Structures are given as structure tokens and as C-alpha cells.
Amino acid sequence: MATWTNLSYANVATTSPVAHKVSNDWADSLARSGAGEFDGEAEKEGMMPLRKASCRLLSCDIEDVCVGSSATELLCSIAWAVSPGEGSNIVSTRASFPSTVYPWSRVALAKGSEIRLADYNDTLYTDPADILALIDDETSVVTVSHVEFSNGQRYDLSSLSEAAHSVGAILVVDATQSMGMLPIDALSSGADAIVSSGYKWLRGTYGAAVGFISPSIVRQLNPGLVGFRSHVDLWDLRADRISLPPDASRFEYTTIHFGAALGLAAAIEELNEIGMDAVWEHNLALTESLINGATELGFQVASPLSQEERSAIVSLKLPSHHDSQDVARKLQDVHSILVSSRSGMLRISPHIDNSHLDIEYLLSALREITS
């Protein structure tokens, strides 16, 4: 089996070994004994380790955190809970990952609201001023990816939330490309809702996600997805009424892959122990080495370079006679290096498991492939 150098955390993480073990141990236990080791009480409390780890990560209260199977699932439930009405508008960016916008597009189609998307330039950069210019008195929701998947552009959530709140709108953030990469203080950010899948920068696996719902709006939201877990007492199994919990857990509605959730909790606790400031400093140092080395090789860095807008995602424009998909494939097949090809660019996204030696190895391989 090949030993991979994964420099593509924006695609899929190398799962934390601790998370992998915890998830597998749960699956083995279930396979051996079914409900013998995972009874009703265990299922009732199955989300709590992930909620506890996530509230520590996001500097918020445990009541502000919910657990789901994916960021898209949580976004869909939030979008239907908000249901912007006819004549209102929803502001986002054309550069967003589709799952950030699609839930709102579906609701807009049903409710008669308008989707407004700020455009981007030839490096997929979106001027934040263009987002702000789309916000008016009829705006109900501003929704963005905290970090854009294509070029790593990072938005200032505080300025977006201030603009949204000034017209009575809410800010909903997809943090799948930032949570676990950099520090996020959910309450200080001003965001009304933040979601993230667990299999990228959080270093979990598929099947678990986390969400933050601001205590200022949570009681106003009737989730779009409901199930037996939606009732405040999940084992009071009566179909003739539903009483939602008063906190973010009202967005937890059904059975999920508890092994994935427990594994993700362990992965997040690893990040908590390292400290997100230290993780962010490490990631920035790696990307700085990458940017300097790629520039020396003649690549154009398409990602923002300012301290306010940069992230640990670096997108490179290749010389005109090189194709990004072909280069990514050669890096994988010949050098066992994992990167991504997105929008005609080479996307590189190192994380806490990587070292400067990995960056040097990548630059050496790129020099060989493109010379």
C-alpha cells in the first residue's frame, strides 16, 4: 500500500488515528452485541461527546451546538426553518460551494424569494464590497462559505454579520473549509448559524457534522427536518404532539452514524488540546513556504495573500502549457502526493499532520513535472 503525502485537506482529510480507533471500536462493539452495549440511554447521550468537544472548539455554550450527518443536511434544515418569504432576498457568492447556496435556492423557489450572488474575477476572488452592495432592506439571509473552496479566500464574518443585522437579516456560514483550520469564536463572529462537515479540516470521517445556532434566534427556528429525536424527550414515543428542545439540539432529529460522531469528537478534542492558535500558526507557516517556493518556480498564486483574507488553501495557476488535472494526477501516480484540481488551478491545502518536509517534497515534484 502506498504511503501518501496528503496535501488536500480541503478535499478529504487524513483521518485522525484517534478518531479512526474510536469510530472502529464503536462499530466493532455494535457488531458484537447490538443493543447490548448501545442501549437506549447510550443512544440518547450519543451526540453529547461531539457537542462538548465542539462548544470548546467554538468558544460557545453546549446549548448552542447541534450534531448532524453533514453540513448540507444542517443547512437544509436551517434554510427551511428560516423560509425567507416572497419579496425577500438571499445574498451569497457565485464562488460558493454549491451546497452552501442550493438549500436556499430550493427554499427560494418554493417561497418566491430571490437569490443574489456576488460575482468573482479571473482568480475566483469575490470583492467583499460586492457582497455588501447586494444587501438591502428586503434581505432576509446572507450566507457564505467562511473560506471559499476554490481559492481559499476568507471572509470577515464580523463585517458581514454587522451588515446583515443592520437590515434585520441573519448570517448563515458554511465553515466546512475553515473549522479546524483556524480559530473560530462563534459568539464573537456575529454569525447566527455556523455549520461544518467533519471529514476535512476537523480530521474526522464521513457521516458526522456540527452546527452552531445563536441563542438569539434558536427559539424562533422550527427545523425543516424533524424526526423522533426532535421531541424534547426522545423516548416518549407519541406521534400526536412534538415539543422542541429550547436550544440548538432541536436540529438533531434522527439516528446518525454514532461511531462517526464519537470519532469526530475525539478528533476535535485533539485540536482543542493542541490549541487552535497553534494549529493556525502551523498552517500559515506551511502555506508561506509553499507560496514562496511556488512563486520561485514561476507559478501564479491565485489565493489572496493579505493577512485578513488568506487561509491554508493555496491555489496555483500553472503555466499555459500545463493542465492542472494532469499535474495533479502525476503528483498522485508518480509521487504519491495528494492535491486537488479545481477550476483549472492546482489546489494545495496542508494541515497539522503535514510538515515543511512535505512542502519541500511537493515543490521538488512540481519542479520535475513542469520543467
This prediction's pTM: 0.96
pLDDT band for position 128 (cuts 50, 70, 90): very high
Q: Are 220 and 136 contained in the same domain?
A: yes
Q: Are 188 and 334 contained in the same domain?
A: no
Instruction: Please say which residue of 274, 308, 335 terminates a domain.
Output: 274
Q: Are 218 and 116 contained in the same domain?
A: yes
Q: Are 175 and 38 contained in the same domain?
A: yes
Q: How far apart are CA 371 and CA 365, in angstroms?
A: 10
Range of the domain at 80: 17-274
Give the pLDDT of residue 221.
98
Q: How many domains does the chain have?
A: 2
Give the pLDDT of residue 192.
98
52-103 pLDDT tens trace: 999 999 999 999 999 999 999 999 999 999 999 999 999 999 999 999 999 9
Find the mean pLDDT for residues 35-55.
88
Tell me the percentage of the chain whose pLDDT exceeds 90. 90
Cα–chain center distance at 322: 30
Q: Are 179 and 200 contained in the same domain?
A: yes
Q: Are 285 and 264 contained in the same domain?
A: no
Give the pLDDT of residue 2.
63
Contact 335, 7 (CB under 8 A): no
Say how many C-beta atoms besides its own lie within 10 A of residue 46's C-beta: 20
Q: Are 107 and 237 contained in the same domain?
A: yes
Give the pLDDT of residue 41.
83
207 or 33, higher pLDDT: 207
First to last CA, the chain: 29
72 or 320, higher pLDDT: 72
1 pLDDT exceeds 60?
no
CA dihedral 154, 157, 160, 165 (to 10 degrees): 160
Q: Are 25 and 68 contained in the same domain?
A: yes
Find the mean pLDDT for residues 210-225.
97
149-168 pLDDT tens trace: 999 999 999 999 999 999 99
Report the mean per-residue pLDDT for the chain. Answer: 95
Bridge partner list, 210 = 67, 196
pLDDT band for position 320 (cuts 50, 70, 90): confident
34 pLDDT exceeds 90?
no
124-145 residues labelled b (16+ CB within 10 A) or e (exposed) = bbbebeebbebbeebbbbbbbb
Contact 77, 66 (CB under 8 A): no
Give which of 197, 346, 337, 358 is closest to 282, Cα–Cα.
358
pLDDT band for position 269 (cuts 50, 70, 90): very high
Instruction: Please say which residue of 218, 252, 274 terminates a domain.
Output: 274
The CATH code of the domain that includes 99 is: 3.40.640.10
Instruction: Please say which residue of 246, 274, 302 terminates a domain.
Output: 274
Q: How far apart are CA 361 and CA 371, in angstroms?
A: 15
